[in-house]
């Protein structure tokens, strides 16, 4: 099938969806609000989220609930996008969805680890949909983390998790959560292999940038906060990034101080993100970088998978931005 036939419908749909995303003015309006309640009110009455929020009583809503509502709406839109694809491309969109299923799986595992109730866990789940590869009801009904991991037998997650389960009593869920992220990137890479060269390349570079950013964030936090040994740091990095070879990653893991870290990434597009070491502004600059990166694809409107992949990421960032604004209002943080 020609790429025009395959992508023109989804690209038009994506364009229509972009039209519904938040504009600069709308962000400013939200930022100018005085407190949490008025921000939610503006979000409900003056932005494109009106329709989604109209059925909720916002008087009683808190930040966490709102986040779940926005995320679930995101998943609802996502589940519809799958209908524009068939064959290998459908598989790609399904595999990209694993990211949210994995987030839910983390919620379930964490919930079981902390002994949360069934309802508490269910209220936090966002990705229940026809695209699921796991049986939510069954996993939620199980008693503890060990049972949940055992209940994943037959799913794509089991092999990676079965060794980590022994460590949770001593070391917590860190390894399980990292392994789940590995599963996601491994699966994406496997599926991308089956596409034609153009789509494969663009798919690799979009996921590659994501991997790079995750790796940098991981190494940075590992060095500054957790003091993890370089060998372990390296083992927990995700491979197949876009700008960093294995050797460069090793070098990054073995830097002595953050000055070396900055020097090593100086010539990459990510240098700007780490120009100072304040964690919040790093996150902010990272999101700006990502938005700019995905916007480029969205503007180019090429007849390949880039448009839909970028949109999926772009919309995810929009929700995080809104949540950040709401958090700022909720916890009275300054505007800058």
Partner 1 sequence: MNMVNLVGIISDFDKLTKMLAIDGCMQPVSALQEINSSDFVLKTDLDNIEELKNVNYIKPYLYDKDYNISLKHLEKLVEDLKTIDIRGGTINDKIFDFDDSEKELSKVYDKYMVLNKNIEDLEKKQQYLKNTYIALEFLKNISHPMEEITTMENFQMGLYKVPDQNMVKLKANYENIPSIIESVYKEKGFVIFISYTPILLLIEAERIFKSANCENIQMPKHYIGTAKEVAVSVHDEINEIQQSTWRIRIELNVFLRENYEIIKKIQRSYELEQKSGEIKKSAACTNEFFYLSGWIPKSFMESFNKLLMSFDDRILIITKDTNERTNKAIIPPTMLINNELVKPFESMVLMYGVPSYGEIDPTMFLAITYTIMFGAMFGDVGQGLVLVLVGFLLKNKWDRINLGGVFEILGLSSIVFGFLYGSVFGSEYVINALLVRPMQHINDVLIAAIIFGCGFLILGFILGIINSIRKKDIERALFGKEGVAGFMFYLGILILIVSIVYKNPLLPKAIWMIYFIFFLLLILLKKPLANILVGKDVLFEEGAKDYFIESSFEVIETLLSMFSNTLSFIRVGAFALNHVGLFVAFSAMASMTKSGFASVMILILGNIIIICLEGMIVFIQGLRLEYYELFSKYYEGGGVSFEPVRVKLRERI
Question: Is position 190 an interface residue for partner 1 (rule: CB under 8 A)?
Answer: no
- Maximum CA pair distance of the chain? 54
Q: How far is the CB of 238 from partner 1 (least distance, A)?
A: 10
- Of 192, 215, 190, whose CA–CA distance to 202 is shortest? 192
> Taking contact as CB under 8 A, which single stretch among the options 123-131, 211-219, 243-251, 276-284 is the one that binds partner 1?
243-251
**CB nearer partner 1, residue 123 or residue 163:** 163
Rounded Cα–Cα distance for residues 65 and 78 (Å): 20
> Taking contact as CB under 8 A, which single stretch among the options 133-141, 256-264, 282-290, 323-331 is the one that binds partner 1?
133-141
Q: How far is the CB of 102 from partner 1 (least distance, A)?
A: 16
Question: Is position 227 an interface residue for partner 1 (rule: CB under 8 A)?
Answer: no
Q: Within its chain, how far is the Cα of 319 from the centroid?
A: 11
Q: How far is the CB of 179 from partner 1 (least distance, A)?
A: 6
- Site for partner 1, residues 285 to 324, rule: CB under 8 A: none
State the virtual CA torsion across 109, 111, 115, 117 in degrees, nearest 10.
-130
> Can you spell out the DSSP letters for 183-248?
HHHHHHHHHHTTS-HHHHHHHHHHHHHHHHHHHHHHHHHIIIII---HHHHHHTS-S--SS--HHH
> Taking contact as CB under 8 A, which single stretch among the options 18-26, 41-49, 242-250, 277-285 is the one that binds partner 1?
242-250
Phi, psi (deg, nearest 5) at residue 39: -65, -45
Contacts of 26 (CB under 8 A, 6+ apart): 46, 47, 48
Q: How far is the CB of 133 from partner 1 (least distance, A)?
A: 15
- Site for partner 1, residues 79 to 118, rule: CB under 8 A: 118
Q: How far is the CB of 51 from partner 1 (least distance, A)?
A: 24
Question: Is position 236 an interface residue for partner 1 (rule: CB under 8 A)?
Answer: yes
**CB nearer partner 1, residue 173 or residue 307:** 173
- How many other CB atoms are found less than 10 A from the CB of residue 307? 25
* DSSP 8-state class, residue 22: P
Question: Is position 259 an interface residue for partner 1 (rule: CB under 8 A)?
Answer: no
Question: Is position 167 an interface residue for partner 1 (rule: CB under 8 A)?
Answer: yes
* CA gyration radius, the chain: 21
Interface residue list for partner 1 (CB under 8 A): 118, 135, 137-138, 140-142, 151, 159-160, 163-164, 167, 175, 179, 186, 229-232, 234-237, 239, 246-247, 250, 254
């Amino acid at each position: 099938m020609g790429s025009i036939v395959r992508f023109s419908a989804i690209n038009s749909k994506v364009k229509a969806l972009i039209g519904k995303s938040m504009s600069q003015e709308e962000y400013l309006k939200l930022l100018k609000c005085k407190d949490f309640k008025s921000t939610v009110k503006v979000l409900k009455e003056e932005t494109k989220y009106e329709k989604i929020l109209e059925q909720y009583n916002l008087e009683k809503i808190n930040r966490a609930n709102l986040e779940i509502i926005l995320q679930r709406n995101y998943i609802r839109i996502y589940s519809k996008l799958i209908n524009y694809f068939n064959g290998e491309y459908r598989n790609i969109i399904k595999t990209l969805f694993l990211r949210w299923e994995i987030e839910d799986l983390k919620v379930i595992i964490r919930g079981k680890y902390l002994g949360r109730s069934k309802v508490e866990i269910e209220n936090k789940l966002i990705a229940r949909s026809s695209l699921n590869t796991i049986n939510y009801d069954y996993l939620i009904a199980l008693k503890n983390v060990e049972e949940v991991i055992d209940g994943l037998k037959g799913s794509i997650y089991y092999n990676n998790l079965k060794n980590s389960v022994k460590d949770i009593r001593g070391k917590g869920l860190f390894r399980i959560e990292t392994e789940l992220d590995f599963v996601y990137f491994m699966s994406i890479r496997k599926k991308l292999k089956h596409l034609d060269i153009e789509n494969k390349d663009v798919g690799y570079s979009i996921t590659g940038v994501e991997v790079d950013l995750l790796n940098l964030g991981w190494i940075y936090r590992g060095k500054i906060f957790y003091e993890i040994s370089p060998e372990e740091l390296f083992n927990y990095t995700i491979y197949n990034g876009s700008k960093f070879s294995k050797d460069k990653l090793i070098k990054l893991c073995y830097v002595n101080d953050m000055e070396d870290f900055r020097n090593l990434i100086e010539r990459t597009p990510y240098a700007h993100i780490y120009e100072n070491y304040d964690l919040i502004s790093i996150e902010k600059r990272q999101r700006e970088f990502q938005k700019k990166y995905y916007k480029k694809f969205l503007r180019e409107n090429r007849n390949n998978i880039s448009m839909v992949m970028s949109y999926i990421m772009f919309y995810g960032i929009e929700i995080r931005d809104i949540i950040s604004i709401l958090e700022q209002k909720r916890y009275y943080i300054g505007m800058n």
